[in-house]
Structure 1
């Protein structure tokens, strides 16, 4: 039964994120442009390493998982 609840919460989260990205895409313009995100661009290639953005995503996901899976 716990697996079913997880998929319900995951579906609700994905639905909310989809609605936000569809109707308010400007809310996430900062993502990928933070200090610490590395961008290297030449004529023929583009390299993007989102170090700071991924640290923030990791912190947010850790908080969400701890809130829902704490016993």
Structure 2
């Protein structure tokens, strides 16, 4: 469990450092992501982005545990 938490922490730090370059990939603005814009509020549901990230992470963990 400790090893998993350390790896997750390192992954989050790396994602934070790489965010300027990762945001250029277009994640978060994919077709199927839902945005509700009101007069004073904006609500965002990144459904397709979450599905793609889930599939990629599932494949990576499956390959890692193989």
TM-score range, shorter chain: 0.7 to 0.9
Aligned structure 1 segments of 4 or more residues deviating by more than 4 angstroms: none
| Alignment: residue pair count | 65
Structure 2 partner of 1:43: 39
CA RMSD of aligned residues (A): 1.9
The gaps in structure 1 that reach 5 residues or longer are none
Q: Which moved more, 1:8-17 or 1:27-36?
A: 8-17
1:1-71 correspondence runs (5 A): 3-21=1-19, 25-29=20-24, 30-70=26-66
Structure 2: segments with no counterpart, 5+ residues? none
TM-score (norm: length of structure 2): 0.72
TM-score normalised over the length of structure 1: 0.69
